[in-house]
């Protein structure tokens, strides 16, 4: 469980001055964290009105929450249109949560390139994603948040790809908002073959009816 102390500490940035800025930015972090605990979507303007802090500062504190040293929290973002985004708190990111998040990002990235993608919920097979596209070999994709795949998993996805005449790939993320695709070979991970931008996720229909989301 996250305590207030977990959110305190020095911040990044070339202009950060520990003596001048630490107390002020820690106060911002606490105010923003408590403001998003309701689990609903908020724009930066709404959070600014609620906390009294500038929108740019709130955006920075939301980014901080995602960092490991501040608890690796899940802060989701959706695009509302006209340059406006909304944010929702999803709790502390466990390894399972991080994996699910990467799977959704990889799925959306591949779909944006014309692939039909099916998630294997719960990772019950050798691949987390199966992708199909006319004129291309099917893809079996293992999503790995740490960019590594064990020898047993590697063997399983390579063998399944051979049996199904598919291409074995590993998806990982080395840059926020992008998904990297690497080939998987019996001897290890191959070269990166693509880096795909994750498209903005549209707001869900049931979320559009919430009166506080405008």
* pLDDT tens per residue across all 214 residues of the chain: 566 777 888 887 778 888 888 899 999 999 999 999 888 899 999 999 999 999 999 999 999 998 878 888 888 899 999 989 999 988 765 566 678 888 989 999 999 999 999 988 655 689 999 999 999 999 999 999 888 899 999 999 999 999 999 999 999 988 878 999 999 999 999 999 999 998 876 544 333 333 332 2
Contact criterion met (CB below 8 Å) for 115 and 137: no
- Domain 95-197 in CATH 3.40.1350.10? The answer is yes
Exposure string over 117-131, b if 16+ CB within 10 A, otherwise e: bebeeebeebbbbbb
Going from the C-alpha of 129 to that of each of 78, 147, 161, the distances in angstroms are 23, 16, 12
Domain 4-92 belongs to what topology? Arc Repressor Mutant, subunit A (1.10.10)
Q: Which helix (H) or strand (E) holds 100?
A: helix 95-112
Q: Cα-flanking dihedrals φ and ψ of residue 53, to 5°?
A: -100, 155
pTM, two decimals, is: 0.57
Per-residue model confidence (pLDDT) at position 1: 55
Residue span(s) of the chain under CATH 3.40.1350.10 come to 95-197
Residue span(s) of the chain under CATH 1.10.10.10 come to 4-92
Which residue has tokens 């929702």? 88
């Amino acid at each position: 469980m996250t305590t207030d102390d977990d959110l305190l500490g020095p911040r990044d940035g070339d202009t950060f001055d520990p003596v001048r800025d630490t107390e002020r930015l820690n106060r911002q972090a606490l105010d923003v964290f408590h403001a998003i605990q309701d689990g609903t979507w908020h724009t930066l303007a709404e959070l600014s009105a609620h906390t009294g802090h500038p929108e740019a500062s709130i955006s920075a504190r939301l980014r901080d929450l995602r960092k490991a040293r501040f608890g690796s929290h899940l802060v989701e973002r959706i695009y509302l249109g006209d340059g406006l985004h909304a944010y929702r708190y999803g709790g502390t990111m466990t390894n399972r949560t991080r994996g699910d998040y990467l799977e959704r990002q990889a799925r959306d990235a591949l779909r944006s390139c014309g692939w039909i993608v099916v998630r294997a919920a719960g990772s019950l097979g050798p691949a987390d994603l199966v992708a199909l596209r006319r004129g291309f070999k099917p893809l079996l994709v293992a999503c790995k948040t740490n960019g590594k795949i064990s020898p047993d998993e590697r063997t399983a996805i390579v063998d399944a790809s051979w049996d199904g005449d598919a291409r074995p790939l590993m998806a990982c993320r080395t840059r926020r908002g992008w998904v990297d695709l690497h080939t998987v070979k019996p001897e290890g991970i191959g070269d990166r073959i693509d880096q795909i931008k994750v498209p903005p996720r549209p707001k869900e229909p049931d979320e559009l009816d919430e009166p506080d989301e405008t």
